[in-house]
């Protein structure tokens, strides 16, 4: 009963959060000084055409009716049509969002796989050279602008050394030869058995994923160090060392077991942050993701695309937090 009640509370909280997000995006669309009818027809439209378009869009109805229609259309996956691409916004999001997921996933894996051990060993060697180096790397990651780091990485590793591919998601010559199955270009290239396309996609992903992964590393390593310092001061750690257990076992088996739960939230937040905050990286590397799509739409005053993309990112943020909560319950019996 308790487990069912807890699950119900989580689902209700997620639904209420989603409704709040829907309300926020709806109000933003009504507050901005942009007339949707004029955006479709243009400034020289006749009065009759203007009124007809407003009726077709439902703009002549009360706000609560408009909100109800908005929720119903979003529930059907209908975000309207983009004024910039002339395509349904849902179709555009389906084309651009996989690129952002690919980039954010790669960056989070890099940040977690490097940041967790770095933070752990920095805490274990507090005040020593290893600790100072890790803290300096983390501070630099927090301080340096991502667009500057991205440009410097392109100049060094692409232009000068030629170790990786440059901007874009895949070589232009190979783009039309990869079938669009999942939207994730590396998976699609692997499914098609095209080794050259797979290597090209991987080479294009490495540099932007490393740049974003460095910022994820800075956050995760700092939080890991903080959590570990708190655990290493506990009495059970002193007792484990007094029993003669090896330092590696004390760190990874005893201390890290209690640290991994809060780290789930840290990594989940880092991943969600990369999904919504990779706009500058996508711009520098010409990465065709949702961030670049929303930015271009905003500059073109394409509110359907902006709000649709914002809503999808918000839904992903909620989903990531739900997954983190479920992992809590799987890894910690006390949460069940």
Per-residue HEC secondary structure of 124-187 comes to: HCCCCHHHHHHHHHHHHHHHCCHHHHHHHHHHHHHHHCCCCCCCCCCCHHHHCCCCCCCCCHHH
Contact 141, 214 (CB under 8 A): yes
296 and 230, same structural domain? yes
Q: Give the C-alpha separation, 138 to 282, whole Å.
A: 22
247 and 133, same structural domain? yes
129 and 230, same structural domain? yes
Low-confidence ranges of the chain (pLDDT < 70): 1-7, 32-43, 45, 56-59, 277, 332-336
Last residue of a domain, one of 75, 100, 128: 75
| pLDDT value at residue 209 | 92
65 and 121, same structural domain? no
173 and 235, same structural domain? yes
In a domain, 178, yes or no: yes
CATH number at residue 129: 1.10.3720.10
70 and 104, same structural domain? no
172 and 28, same structural domain? no
pLDDT tens for residues 271-318?
Answer: 988 887 677 888 888 888 888 888 888 877 777 888 888 888 888 888
Which residue range(s) make up the domain with 306? 90-335
| pLDDT value at residue 114 | 93
Q: Give the C-alpha separation, 230 to 226, whole Å.
A: 6
pLDDT tens for residues 67-100?
Answer: 888 888 888 888 888 877 888 888 899 888 999 9
In a domain, 84, yes or no: no
308 and 190, same structural domain? yes
In a domain, 136, yes or no: yes
Q: Give the C-alpha separation, 270 to 109, whole Å.
A: 10
Q: Give the total number of structural domains in the chain.
A: 2
257 and 198, same structural domain? yes
Last residue of a domain, one of 48, 75, 102: 75
In a domain, 82, yes or no: no
Last residue of a domain, one of 75, 100, 131: 75
Contact 261, 332 (CB under 8 A): yes
In a domain, 55, yes or no: yes
In a domain, 80, yes or no: no
| pLDDT value at residue 229 | 87
In a domain, 106, yes or no: yes
Residue of 119, 121, 161 whose CA lies nearest to 262? 119
């Amino acid at each position: 009963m308790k487990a069912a009640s807890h699950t119900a509370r989580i689902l209700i909280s997620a639904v209420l959060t989603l409704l709040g997000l829907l309300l926020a995006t709806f109000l933003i669309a009504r507050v901005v000084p942009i007339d949707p009818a004029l955006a479709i027809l243009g400034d020289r439209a006749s009065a009759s055409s203007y009124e007809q378009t407003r009726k077709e869009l439902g703009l002549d109805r009360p706000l609560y009716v408009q909100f109800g229609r908005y929720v119903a259309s979003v529930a059907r996956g209908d975000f309207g049509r983009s004024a910039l691409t002339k395509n349904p916004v849902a179709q555009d999001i389906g084309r651009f969002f996989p690129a952002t997921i690919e980039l954010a996933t790669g960056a989070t894996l890099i940040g977690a796989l490097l940041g967790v051990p770095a933070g752990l060993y920095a805490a274990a060697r507090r005040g020593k050279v290893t600790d100072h180096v890790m803290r300096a790397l983390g501070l630099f990651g927090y301080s340096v602008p991502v667009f500057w780091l991205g440009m410097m990485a392109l100049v060094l590793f692409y232009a000068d050394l030629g170790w990786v591919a440059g901007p874009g998601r895949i070589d232009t010559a190979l783009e039309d030869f990869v079938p669009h199955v999942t939207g994730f270009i590396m998976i699609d290239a692997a499914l098609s058995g095209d080794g050259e396309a797979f290597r090209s996609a991987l080479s294009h992903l490495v540099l932007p994923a490393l740049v974003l992964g460095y910022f994820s590393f800075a956050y995760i390593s700092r939080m890991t160090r903080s959590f570990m310092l708190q655990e290493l001061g506990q009495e059970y750690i002193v007792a484990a060392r007094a029993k003669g257990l090896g330092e590696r076992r004390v760190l990874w088996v005893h201390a890290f077991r209690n640290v991994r739960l809060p780290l789930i939230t840290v990594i989940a937040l880092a991943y969600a942050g990369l999904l919504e905050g990779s706009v500058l990286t996508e711009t520098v590397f010409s990465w065709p993701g949702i961030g670049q799509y929303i930015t271009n739409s905003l500059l073109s005053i394409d509110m359907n695309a902006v709000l649709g993309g914002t809503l999808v990112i918000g839904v992903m943020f909620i989903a990531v937090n739900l997954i983190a909560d479920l992992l809590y319950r799987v890894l910690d019996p006390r949460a069940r």
